[in-house]
Amino acid sequence: MKRNAWWVGMAALTGPLLAAGVASAAHITITDDDINGVVITPDANFEFGVNVTQNHFESASLSGSWIASTGANGSGIIYFVEENDHTILSDVLTATWTSDNPGGFSVASIDLTFESDVNGVLLSGATIPQLWLDNGWYIQETGDLTSVIGAFRDPNTGALVSIPSNLSMIAASDAVPEPSTIVLLGMGLAGFAAFGRKRLQG
C-alpha cells in the first residue's frame, strides 16, 4: 500500500513538470520575400541552443536542440512549387534530425536549410523529382504561412516521415511583405522622386 502511495505521489509531482515541458514546444518560422530574402526565426524554446546562419540572400540554415517526448532519427525534404505552374520549383526545405532516446523523452536535434529560387533556378541545382510531381507531393506557394511539420518526405522513397515531437514549423514561400514595409519603401521612392524633380527645376 505504501509503495502505491509513493508512485501516486511521484506521478503527482512529476506529471505537471513533464506536461509543462511538453507544452513548451519549440517553434520555427521561415519566410521568403523579395525585400528580406530567406529569414528563419526560432523561438526561445530550444532548451539546448539554436543557431541560424544566413548562407546568402536566397538561403538560410538552422541548427537547434530541444526536449522531445517521442521521436526517431531521420531526414526529409519539402518542395514548394509556383502557384500557377506546379512543374516550376520555387523553394526547397531539407532537414535532418536525431533523437538521443528514440521512442521516449529525449534531446532532439535538427539541422535544416531553406533555399529559394533566383528567377526560377535554385543555386544548388535542385530539381523536383517526377515522382513528387506525379503524386502531388509538394506545397503550392501562396505567400501565406503554412504548417509544414507533417509534410516532410523521405528524399529517396517519398514516404512521409515524422520529426521528433514538441516542434512546430511554419513557412511562407514568396511571402508578401508587411504593409508597413511597402509604405516605407513607397515613401522613400516618393522622396527620391521629389528630390530629383527639385534638382531638375533648380
Please tell me the predicted confidence (pLDDT) of residue 120: 74
* Residues 103-126: tens digit of each pLDDT: 889 999 999 999 998 877 888 898
pTM, to two decimals: 0.76
- In which residue are the cell numbers 527639385 written? 198
Say if residues 110 and 64 touch (Cβ distance below 8 Å).
yes
Please tell me the predicted confidence (pLDDT) of residue 84: 87
190 pLDDT band (50/70/90 cuts)?
low
Question: Using CA atoms, how far apart are residues 193 and 187, in angstroms rounded to an integer?
Answer: 10
* Residues 28-60: tens digit of each pLDDT: 999 999 899 999 999 999 999 999 999 999 999
At residue 185, φ and ψ (nearest 5 deg) are -65, -45
* Residues 161-178: tens digit of each pLDDT: 999 999 999 999 875 444
Number of Cα atoms under 13 Å in the Cβ half of residue 62: 26
Give the ranges where the chain is alpha helix by DSSP (H).
2-23, 130-135, 179-201
Cell of 153: 518526405
Please tell me the predicted confidence (pLDDT) of residue 175: 57
15 pLDDT band (50/70/90 cuts)?
very low
Number of Cα atoms under 13 Å in the Cβ half of residue 173: 24
Say if residues 24 and 43 touch (Cβ distance below 8 Å).
no
Question: Using CA atoms, how far apart are residues 67 and 39, in angstroms rounded to an integer?
Answer: 24
Give the Cα-Cα-Cα angle 156, 53, 90 (nearest 5 degrees): 50
Question: Using CA atoms, how far apart are residues 49 and 56, in angstroms rounded to an integer?
Answer: 22
Q: Which residue has the higher pLDDT, 6 or 58?
A: 58
